[in-house]
Amino acid sequence: MSTVRARQRAKERPLVVTALLSALGYALVIGAFAGAVPIFPDIGRETVDLLSHAIAVVNTLATASLVLGWYWIRQGEVRKHRAAMLSAFVLILLFLMLYLPKVGGGGEKHFVGPETVRLAYLVMLAIHIVLSAVSVPVVIYAVVLGLTHSPRELRETPHARVGRIAAGTWILSLVLGVVTYVMLNHVYDATFVPS
């Protein structure tokens, strides 16, 4: 199938493409967590730490790209907006390439700190996880619409409304992910439990 035909099909059925890509993403993450995707090598704490640091950098860059994209579309700078949002999406794909081996072959780090701080950490982590899971189909839908429609055509789609929801949930999720990373890796201690 040619790229043009694939793009046309995605344009005609963006919800189907969104559902398929979302299901694939969920399957990869759940499979990695459950150990059902036995393709990841066993890694130790040093590698888990290194991947955690790289993930935090990627998520920070993705957050900056999203904020810039949001700013630029409000300024009417469509090309800059598109470049920023596609950069954020590519960064999230890079995040997955780092995250899946970390959880599939590494282990878990458990927060060690005062109980009140631990509770705040767990609440932020829970919100981060829920928003991450919820934002996947919304983000993919906004990206599919953005990639398959011209700027003029996008005005006739729910891209702007969906994009606001996607960017808002995604930014909050990424920020909370970075905050919990800093708490777990730099402010307080953690115990490592190999998988």
At CB < 8 A and 24+ separation, what contacts does 27-33 make? 28/96, 28/100, 29/96, 29/99, 29/100, 29/103, 31/104, 32/99, 32/100, 32/103, 32/104, 33/103, 33/104
Query: What confidence tens digit (pLDDT) does each residue in 107-131 have?
Result: 788 999 999 999 999 999 999 999 9
- Write the CB contacts of 133 (distance below 8 Å, at least 6 apart in sequence): 26
For position 28, what pLDDT does the model report? 86
Q: pLDDT below 50 — which residues of the chain?
A: none
3-state secondary structure of 190: strand
Give yes or no for a contact between 109 and 191, defined as CB atoms under 8 angstroms apart: yes
The amino acid present at 12, given as its one-letter code, is E
For position 139, what pLDDT does the model report? 95
Q: Partners of 109 in the beta sheet?
A: 192
Look at the block and give the residue holding tokens 């003029």: 152
The overall longest dimension of the chain from CA atoms, in Å, is: 57
For position 132, what pLDDT does the model report? 93
Q: How far is CA 25 from CA 2, 32, 50, 99, 177, in A?
A: 24, 11, 23, 12, 18
For position 1, what pLDDT does the model report? 52
Give yes or no for a contact between 121 and 110, defined as CB atoms under 8 angstroms apart: no
3-state secondary structure of 168: helix
For position 39, what pLDDT does the model report? 80
Look at the block and give the residue holding tokens 């439990």: 193
